[in-house]
Structure 1
Amino acid sequence: MAELALALAATVSVLAFGGVKVFYFLPAQLIILAAAFVQFWRYGWPSISRLTSTVLAILVAIPLLQVIPLPEGVLEILSPGRAKLALEFSAVGASLRLPPTVTLQSYESTAAFLRLLCYLMTFLLAYQSYKLGEGRGTLARLLIGLGVIEALYGLVQYLTGSPYVYTYARTSGMIAATGTYVNYNHFAGLLEMVLPFLVAQLWLHPLHGSSQRHSASWRQILAGPQLANWMLRLGLFLVVFLALIFSQSRSGILAGIAGMFVSGLLAFPKGRKGIAFISGFAIVGLLFIYSAWIGLSPVLDRFENLSLPPGVEPSRTLMWKDTFSLIQDFPVLGSGLGTFPWVSLRYQTAPVTVRYEHAHNDYLEFAADIGIGAALVLFCSLWVLAIRVARKSISLDRWSEKRLAAACAGSLIALLIHSLTDFNLQVPANALIFSWIAGTAASLASRPISGSQVISHQ
């Protein structure tokens, strides 16, 4: 049941413009809340490690502390930056007063805290569901199905030059594949989490009629009854990768390729890594040739813009510099979860005609919102998890577990790389799917290696 609830929540949030508005993401939050209540009532609280419990406790405690009303003297100690702003406000006029909280925007922090709880519940649901053996193939099937639908929609948008998402007209003026997302970078963020699952299924294929310990060789696949199934998966991979290319997201394309490389390297059977590189380069090369035939010029123009001088297009480095200034004023507890779009206005050095909705760097934005310490805990934990599940995939014997672990590692690494230049973790749909993958990865990483039981995921 929990896996089906996760699948429904992910689907609803992705199709609703990525859940970027409160009322778009609300159905997914209610689904996750109901599923968590039922799951934990039936099976109890997940048996996570002490270290994981500590990380989750920190991620809950900091945002909760930010929204609790506190005496002014305590606030001056906990957040000197807030005290500085309070003095500036009082100098302007008595009508301008900050709330008696660490956060500078109580409503936004409360809404962001509720979204965070949804992500943490998603992580715990995924962790426990995999431990219990419920719907272990749901994650891969849902991601691939959803990714293919989004990719097809995105390709139609690009090839027809349509600026519409449903009936909403995008105002960016750039013709790009975006699927049901308004922002092409967020569309790329979804696809880069899907592609490692497709790559793992292509590289590590079960031998027909065999146990889960044997993967089919290329000769067995091409000469056996599974050729049609393998060709279908190859076709799905080509569709999703083409859509990623035509999203024109520079960092998304690079992060997606990195995720596929990690997943393919981990999933490919031992002793045949050389074939993996050759076949992988061949497939990607053919894709780029086909992309060029369709029309790769807009994508190449996007990469050429990297060499343009500052001011020709909005500079992320300028945003990051201003965000560093914000972090310096709120280093310990941050300015409040979800408050960056408002607080950053005070530190913005770009023309007032441009507004920073986000820092275009998840690492910096979380540091600004919840403090340097909590941000370090969050991202160090995620990188450690990605490395742990990658190492676990090498030692796993069963092909189904091995390819799931390899896919999770590739997806986590892809989005964490993309987070260096964008804000996919601020997009509810992508953050929810990322949490689902992370929960499954954590369960796999903690799984003992045992050959006493054959487990079927498909």
Structure 2
Amino acid sequence: MNQKKNLLKSLLQPEGLLFLVLIISPWLFGSVEAWAKILLFCLILLGGMIWWKQHAKLKLSFSFPLMSVVVFIILWIFIEQIPFPPTLIQFLSPKRYELEKTTLLLLGHSATTQEMGWIPLSINPSESFFYTLEFSGIILFGFIVNQIFKKSPEQRDFWIYATLVNGSLLSIFAIIQRATWNGKIFWSRTLTQGGDPFGPYVNRTHLGGLLLLLIPLGIGYLLYKEQSYRPNKQRLAIKGSLTTGLQNLSFSYLFEKLFFPCLLLIVASGILISRSRGAMVSMLLALSLMGLWFSLDAKEQKKGMKQTLLVGAFMVGSIVMALWMASDIFIGATQRLVEEAVDIKESSRIALWKEALELWRMFPLTGSGLGTFEEAFNLVRTIFPGPMRVTHAESDYIELLTDTGIVGLLLFLVLIFIVLFRGWQNIRLEKDQKTKILVAGSYFSFIGGLLQGIANFNLVTMANLLCLVFCAQIFLSHSEENKNQNL
């Protein structure tokens, strides 16, 4: 009874609520549906309110440039949903004004500027509102997690550990579900609007994108834990029996040293057999960058080479495991990737991007409104004729351009630059080598997520964005500045 009370009490703490959000979000079908986003937003908001009540007198620690850009992004998304006078809309977004005028004429109403009602920049404010909830919740999540990690590195380590275990469970579930597929997610939920599921996700690419974020972080965590153990516990006893040596080691050490790497390989193989070509390439690029960093940053050349070879061995091991689990799926995805790279002009994704840029030219400054790509794209669409839905631009950056205009895209790019710059500073200035490896792991996971967004879409998947922000807070919350001044 006491254990249940303690568990409930911990879950009602802000740390417990936000941790719950991070863990359950992938299992809620990736949190792409409105009900899931509202649920997660409410949990984050509740956690934020409790945290603020508990820390009302705490001197907050944050980067002013970073927070300023975040505030401007939320303001811009919100402004696009507010009705403005028609003359202002005509100046800011002539195409939006023209669409409103055409709609009024078709409905038999007066379409003169003087008699028009006020118009929002977004062509579908209700859809944009859900994205506002999603982004606001994610930003609040990131801010509080940042404060938690600065205050308690132990909490940070536990969150990383639990997230990696959760990722391995997602991979195992996805593989089992695919092997026993009956046409339903969780063997019970029917796909009402089609899709290509993998695990609890309707779109296999999205799960691949989530798992991708765990690989460099997982390798960094393993090396961090390896160097955290005392020398007399780093190796199994040579003298005496193997059983005696094992008895001298803790269960957690054995799990992290022997079993955990296998789970990480399963996560990596899950990416490779998800058939997400973007996730596959992004993982290999992120790991390659991580291996290069190991070789250049290490004070001892031999140690750096050893860590680089470890990354290379992990990549090879992932491919071998993917071939063993589902060779036909992995080989098929690789073949399609090569074919698309060789004959890039025939790529349907490139054709989609070209037409998406035509859409952007209609709303160059403000975009059509966040979350409105499917409706707005019909203004220029010629590809994929018939009833097939084109819901996203297959690129986060192009979709940000079409939805939020050049203003919104520039704000997001500035945000990414600040995060990457501060993260790199924190890695470079970190004096403790084992902590530097952990922070670098989260940094290269974040880079992998950014790379995957070039040719895939994650904006709709709240679970993936939460994990991306989680990775960012690991390297943003850790710096010499935080240690010395907690500013």
Q: TM-score range with shorter-chain normalisation?
A: 0.7 to 0.9
1:266–1:393 contact (8 Å) kept in structure 2: no
Counterpart position of 2:81? 67
1:407-442: per-residue Cα shift (whole Å, max 9, x none)?
Answer: 220221011000001111321111122223223432
Correspondence 1:250 to 2:277: yes
Q: In the TM superposition, what is the alpha-carbon distance from 1:142 to its structure 2 partner?
A: 2.9
1:196–1:260 contact (8 Å) kept in structure 2: yes
1:187–1:247 contact (8 Å) kept in structure 2: yes
Correspondence 1:158 to 2:189: no
The two structures have a TM-score, normalised by structure 2, of 0.82
Moved more, 140-149 or 87-96: 87-96
Choose the corresponding residue for 1:24, options 8, 17, 36: 36
Choose the corresponding residue for 1:168, options 175, 184, 189: 189
Correspondence 1:339 to 2:358: no
CA separation of 1:312/1:263 partners in 2, compared to 1, >3 Å: closer, same or farther?
A: closer
**Structure ID, larger Rg:** 2
Q: In the TM superposition, what is the alpha-carbon distance from 1:310 to its structure 2 partner?
A: 8.3
SS at match of 1:426: coil
Letter in 1 for 2:175: L
1:83-108: per-residue Cα shift (whole Å, max 9, x none)?
Answer: 12224334544269997211111211
Choose the corresponding residue for 1:286, options 311, 317, 322: 317
Counterpart CA distance in 2 for 1:396 and 1:122 is: 25
Counterpart CA distance in 2 for 1:192 and 1:116 is: 21
Choose the corresponding residue for 1:80, options 80, 91, 94: 94
Moved more, 91-100 or 254-263: 91-100
Counterpart CA distance in 2 for 1:228 and 1:120 is: 34
Counterpart position of 1:456? none
Counterpart position of 2:431? 397
Q: In the TM superposition, what is the alpha-carbon distance from 1:152 to its structure 2 partner?
A: 0.6
1:255–1:414 contact (8 Å) kept in structure 2: yes
Moved more, 430-439 or 60-69: 430-439
1:158–1:175 contact (8 Å) kept in structure 2: no
2:14–2:47 contact (8 Å) kept in structure 1: yes
Choose the corresponding residue for 2:204, options 184, 209, 213: 184
Letter in 2 for 1:68: I
Moved more, 182-191 or 120-129: 120-129
Correspondence 1:378 to 2:412: yes
Counterpart CA distance in 2 for 1:206 and 1:285 is: 21
1:17–1:182 contact (8 Å) kept in structure 2: yes
Q: In the TM superposition, what is the alpha-carbon distance from 1:209 to its structure 2 partner?
A: 5.5
Moved more, 400-409 or 201-210: 201-210
1:3-22 mapped onto 2 (5 Å cutoff): 3-22=15-34
1:91-138: per-residue Cα shift (whole Å, max 9, x none)?
Answer: 544269997211111211112111111111112112222223272224
1:24-70: per-residue Cα shift (whole Å, max 9, x none)?
Answer: 22221111001112222333484322211220121111111111121
Q: In the TM superposition, what is the alpha-carbon distance from 1:400 to its structure 2 partner?
A: 5.6
Correspondence 1:199 to 2:219: yes
Choose the corresponding residue for 1:39, options 37, 51, 57: 51
Counterpart CA distance in 2 for 1:95 and 1:79 is: 21
Counterpart CA distance in 2 for 1:129 and 1:95 is: 55
Letter in 2 for 1:283: F
Counterpart position of 1:324? 357
Identical positions, percent: 22
Counterpart CA distance in 1 for 2:195 and 2:125 is: 36
Q: In the TM superposition, what is the alpha-carbon distance from 1:379 to its structure 2 partner?
A: 2.7
The two structures have a TM-score, normalised by structure 1, of 0.87
Q: In the TM superposition, what is the alpha-carbon distance from 1:193 to its structure 2 partner?
A: 0.9
CA separation of 1:387/1:261 partners in 2, compared to 1, >3 Å: closer, same or farther?
A: farther
Choose the corresponding residue for 2:121, options 86, 96, 102: 102
1:220-299 mapped onto 2 (5 Å cutoff): 220-221=234-235, 225=249, 226=253, 229-263=256-290, 270-271=299-300, 272-299=303-330
Letter in 1 for 2:270: A
SS at match of 1:83: helix
Counterpart CA distance in 2 for 1:305 and 1:114 is: 37
Letter in 2 for 1:296: S
Q: In the TM superposition, what is the alpha-carbon distance from 1:220 to its structure 2 partner?
A: 4.3
Choose the corresponding residue for 2:466, options 432, 436, 447: 432
Q: Which runs of 5+ in 2 are unaligned?
A: 1-12, 112-116, 238-244
Choose the corresponding residue for 2:169, options 135, 149, 153: 149
Q: In the TM superposition, what is the alpha-carbon distance from 1:277 to its structure 2 partner?
A: 2.5
CA separation of 1:123/1:294 partners in 2, compared to 1, >3 Å: closer, same or farther?
A: closer
Q: In the TM superposition, what is the alpha-carbon distance from 1:207 to its structure 2 partner?
A: 4.2
CA RMSD of aligned residues (A): 3.2
2:167–2:214 contact (8 Å) kept in structure 1: yes
Letter in 2 for 1:187: L
Which stretches of structure 1, 4 residues or more, deviate above 6 A after TM superposition?
95-99, 171-176, 309-314
